[in-house]
Chains A and B, each alone.
Chain A
């Protein structure tokens, strides 16, 4: 048998062919999950309550939400797309349509850093309407996008239980997660000026304790302002759970970074996409096996290795 036709030589030849073929960019089409979100930050005043903490330092709800979002930006895989929006009043204001995370990391991270309650354009916080309209906004996007809405669930003014805002969209058409931020105990909401300095807290008589319809009714009939605890704020978990159920979203209470990441990368949050997946590694691995096999092959047992001739 000629030297090049012996099995070890053929194995080496095969390895060379495989390595050469890897330059033809071999790939297979696989279905993969990619992530595309719009993060909506509630910037209404109740988010200034400092009743959450990361480690030992107390943080306001907004700071805590921003911090967790920053950590998520660092942990999400490259290729994920992130957009940002602000919520106050009755709607979200989109600041950035989703863009690739890694290439634009410093821009996205900088934008999250600058999110501030002072960007507000309305001193109301109608969360149900905000969530519904955000879902409508995302439904209009060309590519399917998941909603991540960070809020404490504090409606201001309160909702009239008889005429709740109703979700008119298709349940589950846009998936996503409502993220609850805040503590369970009702605490006062700080009154801040434009420089961020605190001037006491919001008092019971400063805020609407009932919805505007009932407030008007009370005034007409001379009943005086209703008493209530709307000037105190806590995380309204049951309310947000209800909203999530009504709209087909998930609910998560914002706590650890790992928990937030798990919610963001849950199977339902992934967007399936056919993607050309590189399989050069498979070619190279086979070439590597060929090389190893060619080394392992021993043709003659009686000759010690050191005396062989090349």
Chain B
């Protein structure tokens, strides 16, 4: 355990603790012949005690003035949470209007006057993370190149700030879903397996995956035993994930249907949630709750704790003793 002072120069007052040794501050009485008085052991003891109490009071006050604190320390905690990597599509297509909404909001083309798919996505992720405070989250943003924003952490302030950041401005250029997925799976590389790993893909899926990329994604998903959830954000005029159309047609007008088909065939737990469904978020949270959670170990930091109030408390108790002693002092010989 480490202790420190917020304002160390307060220690300059510490020599005052010697004052009770030099000055007793007690009421003195004239006596005709001191030499005739026998030494009184009890008086010496009381005198000594009063001085020690006064010294201790000075020291307690000086440490209180200096702002004594116990330094922040890192402790290992055991939690029950899942490890979730949020993989957020930040391509230009996510800037277009989200499928639901009134004619006024979804037809507007001026950025900032409508709710884009990306903003809906970030709102959902923020809500999801807020409802699972025991989980660890990482955030990956992908566009042309994947951008690892935040590695696994349980700190909600950091998670929420990272989710909020990308929603303020427009998204970036292109989409490379494959590389984004592969790089985000690498977050699990050196992490111990705890029973529940989730990749939460939030995308409109307007991307195609080549066969070698599909193979690598399938391998990594199986290797790291990841459950895959896809929050699908339908564009205004997209047919959605579940229409029956031929692969050729789908690759032309709705490539997300092919991506959906590929994910469903990877052999790992996979669910797609349509963000249009108001219950999607609740369903996803219920699904994650069902996963077998092994305890996970993680480092938690206990922030610095101010101990000056305790110093003042000790000083107050000691001062009360001194005051009591003072009140018993004799004014004159009776």
Contacts and interface: CB of A to CB of B under 8 A. Distances in A.
A249 to B, nearest CB: 20
A267 B13 CA distance: 31
B47 A308 contact: yes
A93 B172 contact: yes
A20 B26 CA distance: 24
Nearest to B167: A94
Contacts of A171: none
A98 B47 CA distance: 58
Contacts of B309: 22-23, 280
Interface stretch (A154-162, A195-203, A293-301): A293-301
B54 A291 contact: yes
B164 A97 contact: yes
Contact of B23 (A3, A86, A102, A296): A296
A8 B25 contact: yes
B319 A303 contact: no
Contacts of B46: 310
Contacts of A114: 148, 151
A62 interface: no
Nearest to A300: B28
A121 B144 contact: yes
Contacts of A95: 141, 147, 149, 162, 165-166
Interface in B44-87: 46-47, 50, 54, 57-58, 61-62, 64-65, 67, 72
A28 interface: no
Contacts of B164: 97
Interface residues of A, number: 68
Contacts of A110: 150-151
Given A103-B157, A287-B315, A12 B322 contact: yes
A164 to B, nearest CB: 23
Interface string A86-128: 1001010111111110111011101100100011111000000
Which of B16, B24, B155, B162 has the most CB atoms of chain A within a 10 A radius of its CB?
B162
A291 B57 contact: yes
B242 interface: no
Contact of A119 (B13, B25, B145, B151): B145
Interface stretch (B99-107, B213-221, B245-253, B326-334): B326-334
Contacts of B144: 120-122
Contacts of A54: none
A305 interface: yes
A121 B143 contact: yes
Contacts of B27: 3, 6, 8, 299, 308
A18 B10 CA distance: 18
B331 A1 contact: yes
A91 B29 contact: no
A294 B25 contact: yes
A86 B30 CA distance: 82
Closest 6 A/B residue pairs (Cβ): A295-B25, A303-B28, A19-B316, A107-B158, A94-B165, A300-B28
Given A104-B158, A310-B46, 20 more contacts: A8-B25, A9-B327, A16-B319, A20-B316, A95-B147, A96-B149, A96-B158, A111-B149, A280-B312, A284-B315, A291-B54, A291-B58, A295-B24, A296-B19, A298-B28, A299-B28, A306-B47, A308-B24, A308-B27, A309-B43
Interface of A: 1-4, 6, 8-9, 12-13, 15-16, 19-20, 22-23, 83, 85-86, 89, 91, 93-100, 102-104, 106-108, 110-111, 114, 118-122, 137, 140, 280-281, 284-285, 287-288, 291-292, 294-300, 302-310
